[in-house]
Chains A and B, each alone.
Chain A
Amino acid sequence: AQSVAQPEDQVNVAEGNPLTVKCTYSVSGNPYLFWYVQYPNRGLQFLLKYITGDNLVKGSYGFEAEFNKSQTSFQLKKPSALVSDSALYFCAVRDIDRGSTLGRLYFGRGTQLTVWP
């Protein structure tokens, strides 16, 4: 079965410090992995994805994510956090080896990131 775990409900970091948001996944085959961000009362915005190749992928707004197959993890990172990065972050996985449900994503429960000035 496909699933995603985000072990931290909340992450707090000071502006200018590096941030990390954790995610682990479970799929029966090979994964596509995604990070989304949600600002209050808004829909989800796509940040970045891992399909294949380099384990470090770069996305929007200076975010990047590191894929680790042996640890089945996909951690979101940013070298220097901004107050405006404060939002709800979701990790998602798609099993590329499944049949008829190729299109669906499985989401984690989200991690609330707060960056304080």
Chain B
Amino acid sequence: DVKVTQSSRYLVKRTGEKVFLECVQDMDHENMFWYRQDPGLGLRLIYFSYDVKMKEKGDIPEGYSVSREKKERFSLILESASTNQTSMYLCASSFPGPEQYFGPGTRLTVT
């Protein structure tokens, strides 16, 4: 079975802090994705990556950056956390099949 893990289930950070969210997959998948999920808005794509050191912006990249130094690990970085970044963050991976496999999510609260 595909396993996607995220470093924290719950995080509480203060405004202005630098926040790292880590995602690791164990199936040698090429593609990895970061989404945020907000009530009534569904899933919105922040960034994705097709290979090590490669990244592409999704629909809402502002205020975020990513890092993919190893194939199995994809990190989401909030350079200076703000209250409007309070959300559920979901990581996913895929390939060769088209379906994506998701981690359990990190619920981030910025106060």
Contact = CB atoms under 8 A, between A and B. Distances in A.
A44 interface: yes
B42 A51 contact: no
A107 interface: yes
Interface range for B: 20 to 34
Given A103-B50, A104-B45, A108-B42, A94 B104 contact: no
Contacts, number: 51
A63 to B, nearest CB: 14
Given A41-B105, A103-B31, A103-B48, A49 B99 contact: yes
Given A90-B43, A110-B42, A43 B33 contact: no
A67 interface: no
B102 A45 contact: yes
Contacts of B58: 104
Contacts of A43: 4, 90, 102-105
B102 A109 contact: no
Interface string A98-116: 0011011101111000000
A49 B42 CA distance: 19
B107 A41 contact: yes
A104 B48 contact: yes
Interface string A9-30: 0000000000000000000000
B45 to A, nearest CB: 6
Contact of B100 (A46, A51, A108): A46
Interface in B78-111: 90, 92, 94-95, 98-105, 107
14 contacts: A34-B99, A41-B105, A41-B107, A42-B104, A43-B4, A44-B43, A44-B90, A49-B99, A90-B43, A94-B98, A103-B30, A104-B45, A107-B43, A108-B42
Interface of B: 4, 30-31, 33, 40-43, 45, 48, 50, 56, 58, 90, 92, 94-95, 98-105, 107
Given A34-B99, A96-B98, 4 more contacts: A41-B105, A101-B56, A103-B48, A103-B50
Q: Which A-B residue pairs are the 9 nearest by beta carbons? A: A43-B102, A109-B42, A103-B31, A44-B102, A107-B43, A43-B104, A32-B98, A43-B105, A46-B99
